Structure 1
Amino acid sequence: MGVVNMDCFMIVPLVNPVVRVQVFVKDYSNQYKPFLVDVTVKMCEVIEKRNFIPYGVIMWKLFKRFTNVNHSCPFSGQLTARDGYLDTSLLPPFPQGLYQISLIVTDMKAYVGTMKFFIQAMEQIKSKKPSRS
Structure 2
Amino acid sequence: MKLVLVVLLGCCFIGQLTNTQLVYKLKKIECLVNRTRVSNVSCHVKAINWNLAVVNMDCFMIVPLHNPIIRMQVFTKDYSNQYKPFLVDVKIRICEVIERRNFIPYGVIMWKLFKRYTNVNHSCPFSGHLIARDGFLDTSLLPPFPQGFYQVSLVVTDTNSTSTDYVGTMKFFLQAMEHIKSKKTHNLVHN
TM-score band, normalised by shorter chain: over 0.9
Q: Measure how far apart 1:89 and its partner are.
A: 0.7
The SS at the match of 1:72 is: coil
**Is residue 2:166 matched to residue 1:115?**
no
Residue 142 of structure 2: aligned partner: 91
Q: In structure 1, what residue type is equivalent to 2:67?
A: N
The SS at the match of 1:88 is: coil
**Is residue 2:90 matched to residue 1:39?**
yes
Equivalenced residue count is 132
Kindly provide the CA deviation profile for residues 103-128 of structure 1, in whole angstroms up to 9, marking residues without a partner as x.
00000121000000011011111234
Kindly provide the CA deviation profile for residues 73-117 of structure 1, in whole angstroms up to 9, marking residues without a partner as x.
011111011111111110111101000000000001210000000
The SS at the match of 1:89 is: coil
In 2, Cα distance between the equivalents of 1:72 and 1:84?
20
TM-score calculated relative to the size of structure 1: 0.95
Q: In structure 2, what residue type is equivalent to 1:47?
A: I
The SS at the match of 1:30 is: coil
Q: In structure 2, what residue type is equivalent to 1:35?
A: F
Q: Measure how far apart 1:129 and its partner are.
A: 4.1
Larger radius of gyration: 2
Residue 67 of structure 1: aligned partner: 118
Percent identity, please: 80
Q: Measure how far apart 1:130 and its partner are.
A: 5.0
In 2, Cα distance between the equivalents of 1:67 and 1:126?
30
**Is residue 2:102 matched to residue 1:51?**
yes
TM-score calculated relative to the size of structure 2: 0.67
Question: Which portions of structure 1, spanning 4 or more consecutive aligned residues, are displaced by more than 6 angstroms?
Answer: none
In 1, Cα distance between the equivalents of 2:123 and 2:101?
12
